[in-house]
Amino acid sequence: MKKDIHPTWYPDAEVIVEGETVMTVGSTKPQLKVEIWSGSHPFYTGQQRLIDTEGQVDRFLRRLQRREEIQAALEEEVEERTPENFSVEEMSLSPRATNALIEAGHTTVGDVLALFNESEDLLLAIQGVGQRALIDIKRYLRAEGLIE
């Protein structure tokens, strides 16, 4: 056998995991630093353990959080766009009827719908809202599916 071609053999080389010596083995290096060993591997322990490779878990969690934020923003936008939250001006009433409703404090379709559900006479009692405006209000509420 040739001399000086073989590496130095360390019969008591330390295996180090997370700064702790977990065992000694024979090796050509005096210390072996490893991330996973049989005492922590899920296959041997039967436990699920998350191993982060180059921040993949962090990236996934950031993407998941961004997706949840976007989903919440979309749900909020959909909630804001319900017909009850629309302005009275979107009902396409005459300017006189629109101004009369706003001056009476009924600025959203939901306010007008609540008044309509109580009694049509309450709408007609507002100065500036007549039969024609009432017909247009009913038509709009039916088109939006708020009344039958």
Q: pLDDT tens across 63-93, in order?
A: 999 999 999 998 888 776 777 778 888 888 8
pLDDT of 63: 93
Residues 94, 76 share a domain: no
Residues 92, 77 share a domain: no
Residue at 56 is within a domain: yes
Residue at 1 is within a domain: no
pLDDT of 51: 64
Provide the token pair at 134: 């009432």
Residue 60 pLDDT > 70? yes
Residues 139, 89 share a domain: yes
Residue 49 pLDDT > 60? no
pLDDT of 33: 92
- pTM of model > 0.85: no
Residue at 91 is within a domain: yes
Residues 71, 41 share a domain: no
Residue at 4 is within a domain: no
Domain that holds residue 126: 83-143
Q: In 3-state terms, what secondary structure has residue 120?
A: helix
The amino acid present at 78, given as its one-letter code, is V
Residues 6+ away with beta carbon under 8 Å from 46? none
**Closest C-alpha among 128, 123, 103 to residue 112:** 123
* Residue 33, beta-bridge partner list: 16
Residues 91, 76 share a domain: no
Number of structural domains found in the chain: 3
Q: In 3-state terms, what secondary structure has residue 130?
A: coil
